[in-house]
């Protein structure tokens, strides 16, 4: 079989696997409302998490992949984890060199439904249309196990070498992966010392090339509560005497973010390395208007900045604040002439990749709570603080392998990109295994809208990405 024909035949095999096996499995997975524990406190009683992981385990059982061992691992009170292992394609023959180990990661828990799904679409109703599979969790991150195992199945089919591979598919990522460290300790001996981590839970800036993530922002999720009364009172009688809890909340937010410019408190910034700026400039040149045109803008709303490079840096290396929820206020249709006793805001603060999240959360709490206006009762409770990750310089050999895979299956060069989201597992692994290399990539591209309405998985990109993973795994084998 010629070197030219092999990639084409591998891609055809992968395409068929997606059409006949992966997409049907993903459709069943999308139907399951297995929201992450942060969004479903009764997740154990509901049983959706167990249903979802059993679907993944059953798929493994019927995959036809040789030498695949798989099992559901459950620690009491924690979301179950799927652990899989495949031995290297042949015994290692070089006694002075250890057998390479690749750890492949994904998660199966989901974000909540959100409103605003278009007619005919819904969070738990899979719809395949125009090469897009709509539904919650397909791209974030239900496909990861299927794609990674199919990559190895492809190598087996074409008698290609591959290293020992272990798979960790967790059920708590969307809640900050607080269950995962316990499983990593439990499975430490079975996992061993990874040489490469492949994470398929990241973004792609476009669907026509392979994108590799170089950094992830940290995050603080918490609730700011402002209370001025023990019960609501007539707004005509009280306004002008009792301060508005909402106005106080606005004043407190101004301490950490300028409402005019969007700039954050100076303590939440860190220096941006030159290599990051170089990657971002190349990314901005490649994408142009796609940097901002991918968002569903309302009417004449404009971006916060006109320069593409600045926009990318702002969303990947700068701190930002989002108010993602509010309580203490009725729906506008039910609002009366009442001065409300309290306002609570759910805050999502994104942090630079190199900023310590625990220290930032402590600082944030201090800024918001110290000397509250009118001595109102103010509290900020950080429910989740996760540091980001700034990846090490990629090994030249690995970079060359990934570049070759991108050229073979996307017909374009691989490109680096920082990412504005957070994947706690990556930071955890980087600290546990300081010398490990990372290939962090994924399918969350333009308009795919993970966490929001109308989330979709771009099927053709999924097929190509699977082929790239196969190529990388084969090149990582001790036989090559």
Q: What is the pLDDT of residues 36-72, one digit of tens each?
A: 999 999 999 999 999 999 999 999 999 999 999 999 9
Q: What is the pLDDT of residues 358-370, one digit of tens each?
A: 999 999 999 999 9
**pLDDT band at residue 91, thresholds of 50, 70 and 90?**
low
* Mean pLDDT, rounded, of the chain: 95
| pLDDT over threshold 90, residue 407 | yes
Tell me what percent of the residues of the chain surpass a pLDDT of 70.
Answer: 97
| pLDDT over threshold 50, residue 311 | yes
5 is written with which tokens?
């024909």
| pLDDT over threshold 70, residue 82 | yes
| pLDDT over threshold 80, residue 480 | no
Mean pLDDT is lowest, of 2-6, 193-197, 380-384, 470-474, for 2-6
Q: What pLDDT is recorded for position 97?
A: 66
| pLDDT over threshold 50, residue 455 | yes
| pLDDT over threshold 90, residue 98 | no
| pLDDT over threshold 70, residue 92 | no
Q: What is the pLDDT of residues 200-235, one digit of tens each?
A: 999 999 999 999 999 999 999 999 999 999 999 999
Residue with tokens 């955890």: 428
| pLDDT over threshold 90, residue 169 | yes
Residue 47 — left, alpha, or beta (φ > 0 → left; ψ -120 to 50 → alpha)?
A: left
**pLDDT band at residue 2, thresholds of 50, 70 and 90?**
very low
3-state secondary structure of 79: coil
Paired strand residues for 323: 347
Q: What pLDDT is recorded for position 90?
A: 81
**Mean pLDDT, residues 425-437 taken together:** 92
**Mean pLDDT, residues 92-105 taken together:** 76
- CA–CA gap between residue 446 and residue 136 (Å, rounded): 16
DSSP 8-class letter at 432: H
Q: Enumerate residues 6+ apart whose C-beta is below 8 A from 184.
A: 168, 191, 428, 432
| pLDDT over threshold 90, residue 94 | no
**What domains are defined for the chain?**
5-216+388-476 (3.40.630.10), 218-284+314-386 (3.30.70.360)
Q: What pLDDT is recorded for position 1?
A: 45
Q: What is the pLDDT of residues 410-428, one digit of tens each?
A: 999 999 999 999 999 899 9
Tell me what percent of the residues of the chain surpass a pLDDT of 90.
Answer: 94
Please state the pTM of the whole predicted model: 0.91
- CA–CA gap between residue 60 and residue 25 (Å, rounded): 11
CB-based contact 194:426 (threshold 8 Å)? no
- CA–CA gap between residue 315 and residue 388 (Å, rounded): 13
Q: 155-168 b/e with 16+ CB inside 10 Å = b?
A: bbbeebbbbbbbbb
Mean pLDDT is lowest, of 60-69, 278-287, 425-434, for 425-434
**pLDDT band at residue 478, thresholds of 50, 70 and 90?**
low
Q: What pLDDT is recorded for position 96?
A: 57
Q: What pLDDT is recorded for position 479?
A: 59
3-state DSSP helix/strand/coil percent for the chain, to nearest 5? Answer: 40, 20, 40
CB-based contact 139:17 (threshold 8 Å)? no
The pairing of strands 196-199 and 437-440 is parallel
**Mean pLDDT, residues 279-302 taken together:** 95
Among the listed residues 107, 219, 49, the one whose alpha carbon sits nearest the alpha carbon of residue 444: 107
- CA–CA gap between residue 130 and residue 459 (Å, rounded): 9
């Amino acid at each position: 079989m010629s070197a030219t024909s092999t990639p084409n035949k591998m891609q055809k095999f992968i395409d068929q696997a997606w059409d006949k096996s992966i997409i049907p499995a993903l459709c069943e997975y999308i139907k399951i409302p297995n929201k992450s524990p942060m969004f479903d406190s009764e997740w154990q009683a509901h049983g959706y998490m167990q249903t979802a992981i059993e679907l993944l385990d059953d798929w493994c059982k019927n995959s036809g992949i040789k030498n695949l061992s798989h099992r559901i691992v459950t620690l009491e009170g924690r979301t179950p984890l799927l652990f899989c292992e495949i031995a290297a394609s042949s015994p290692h023959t070089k006694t002075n060199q250890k057998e390479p180990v690749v750890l492949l990661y994904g998660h199966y828990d989901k974000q909540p439904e959100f409103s605003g799904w278009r007619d005919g679409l819904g969070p738990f109703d899979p719809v395949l249309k125009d090469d897009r599979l709509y539904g919650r969790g397909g791209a974030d991150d239900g496909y990861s196990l299927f794609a990674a195992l199919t990559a190895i199945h492809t190598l087996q089919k074409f008698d290609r070498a591959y290293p020992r591979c272990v798979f960790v598919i967790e059920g708590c990522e969307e809640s900050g992966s607080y269950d995962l460290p316990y499983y990593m300790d439990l499975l430490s001996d079975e996992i061993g010392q990874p040489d490469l981590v492949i994470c398929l839970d990241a973004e792609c800036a476009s669907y026509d090339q392979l994108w590799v993530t170089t950094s992830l922002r940290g995050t603080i999720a918490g609730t700011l509560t402002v209370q001025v009364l023990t019960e609501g009172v007539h707004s005509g009688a009280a306004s002008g005497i009792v301060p508005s809890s909402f106005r106080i909340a606005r004043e407190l937010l101004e301490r950490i973010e300028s409402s005019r410019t969007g700039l954050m408190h100076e303590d939440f910034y860190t220096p941006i390395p030159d290599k990051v700026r170089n990657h971002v400039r190349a990314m901005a040149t490649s994408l142009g208007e796609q940097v901002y045109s991918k968002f569903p803008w309302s009417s004449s709303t404009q971006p916060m900045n006109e320069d593409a490079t600045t926009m990318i840096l702002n969303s990947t290396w700068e701190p930002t604040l989002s108010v993602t929820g509010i309580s203490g206020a009725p729906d506008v249709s039910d609002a009366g002439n009442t001065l409300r006793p309290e306002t609570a805001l759910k805050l999502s603060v994104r942090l630079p990749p190199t900023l310590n999240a625990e220290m930032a959360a402590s600082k944030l709490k201090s800024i918001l709570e110290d000397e509250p206006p009118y001595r109102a009762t103010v509290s900020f409770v950080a429910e989740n603080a996760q540091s980001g990750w700034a990846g090490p310089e990629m090994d030249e050999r690995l970079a060359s392998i990934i570049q070759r895979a991108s050229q073979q299956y996307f017909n374009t060069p691989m490109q680096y990109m920082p990412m504005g989201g957070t994947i706690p597992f990556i930071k955890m692994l980087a600290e546990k295994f300081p010398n490990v290399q990372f290939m962090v990539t994924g399918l969350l591209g333009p308009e795919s809208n993970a966490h929001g309405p109308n989330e979709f998985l771009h099927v053709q990109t999924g097929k190509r990405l699977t082929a790239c993973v196969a190529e990388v795994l084969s090149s990582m084998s001790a036989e090559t």
